[in-house]
Structure 1
């Protein structure tokens, strides 16, 4: 019996739209309303374990507790699947203009600040988790995948012992050092995301994980000279602050960071 024959709370699969290491995402619809598409995320057979089902539940609970136009809407979930808002487009890296990339970053910064005010840190901000519709900017950019999110009001940081789930190209130094995440952790990841959207690559690349970890812990982000025009040095200073090794030295909010970044790109040096 295939997935199309399984019961997902009345949701019926139309077509596959994405595939990752742990799950497949389908466009689907509820049998009571075939005109409204939803995204149906289904764990692979090998990932239908208690730990992965708990992760899926956290994704549903955290995103479902937040109500913001740039945060994915959750509808329903079962033991190894969840139904959520369908975005008919793709990942933010596909945005073709600088203006649209900055607009998407502005919207996601606002979503992150909203989540932080609600006591939730996303912990996995990256271009792959920012979706944009085909008609962007008429439809908003949407932040997805709250599966590794963290509630800052919890007394104990869920470090997953000595092996936290991270996306290394976007991981803040404090997480690599085993410290608790904060709003500044998402800001660091958003800065890495911004660099990738501006240049086509994250700030640090390496041949192996150890070198990438060392870069996050010890190196300044490489200069963007020649990649964003004559204002590159001003952009470098903004990125360097948002990616400061110590969280307290970063901007007060994600919105402040993106506002400064947009201003540095727009204003030529005097």
Structure 2
């Protein structure tokens, strides 16, 4: 762990923002510009192996390629660290107003569609990977962490053997070992929408096997009979967005969010 005043090349650490499974994120500033804060993501010493270094490079390359108002902006990369824009509004799960949640979902949908247009699949859409600007009305929601992202041409025609996404948001085709597509991100966005709007992901069983089995075989839950604001249209839209067959889902993430925004009272 770094402490206040420590340096990573030209960046001076100001404090800890958060810690993940393999890295710590610090608030830092460039030594020549103390007023310009950045988020400095530094791999822990015991995670500086080839796999994690490659993942860090991939995060920088994919996010750097997808320059969009609602995708985190990269600044610089070192051998075991990234400097990127600092987002201080916390995770999207901090939003409580339904109208704001729908606005945030629309912004992330636009970011995902843009990434897809460039041939990039995020592969890990979930609330903890959606951060907010300090003042929501200024910038809104921003998609972060492209560490497990894939190009649409990666492994073309070949199945995958290792799942890196978060299971509560993982589409059935990924569990079957198929290559992720834009429809995979749409499925995860739908799971994220359910969690933000209802307080829980669509499938909540406690064991890995049971949760995976729900994604693969259980019907998409309905909410109109148990939540007063949920409409039958919301149930139908969600069922299509989370169809077991990715070919049956909506063509874009924006189409999905636009439909649920129209279907729900705000």
Which TM class, normalised by the smaller chain length? over 0.9
2:3/2:15 contact within 8 Å kept: no
Give the secondary structure class of the aligned counterpart of 1:266: coil
How far apart, in 2, do the equivalents of 1:55 and 1:103 lie?
30
> What is the match of residue 237 of structure 1?
236
Which TM-score applies when normalising by structure 1? 0.93
In the TM superposition, what are the counterparts of 1:91-130 in structure 2 within 5 Å?
91-130=91-130
Deviations along 1:206-244, whole A, 9 cap, x unmatched? Answer: 121000100000012222236653443211111111000
> What is the match of residue 69 of structure 2?
69
How far apart, in 2, do the equivalents of 1:106 and 1:227 lie?
25
How far off its partner does 1:10 sit? Answer: 0.4
1:173/1:245 contact within 8 Å kept: yes
> What is the match of residue 83 of structure 1?
83
How far off its partner does 1:8 sit? Answer: 2.0
How far off its partner does 1:21 sit? Answer: 1.2
> What is the match of residue 38 of structure 1?
38
CA RMSD, aligned part only? Answer: 1.8
Deviations along 1:97-128, whole A, 9 cap, x unmatched? Answer: 00110000000000000000000000000000
How far off its partner does 1:153 sit? Answer: 2.4
Deviations along 1:65-114, whole A, 9 cap, x unmatched? Answer: 11100000000111111000100111000012001100000000000000
Give the secondary structure class of the aligned counterpart of 1:63: helix
Give the secondary structure class of the aligned counterpart of 2:28: strand
Q: Does 1:196 align with 2:192?
A: no
Deviations along 1:130-149, whole A, 9 cap, x unmatched? Answer: 00123102222100000000
Unaligned runs of 5+ in 2: none
Unaligned runs of 5+ in 1: none
How far off its partner does 1:194 sit? Answer: 0.1
Give the secondary structure class of the aligned counterpart of 2:138: coil
Aligned length: 266
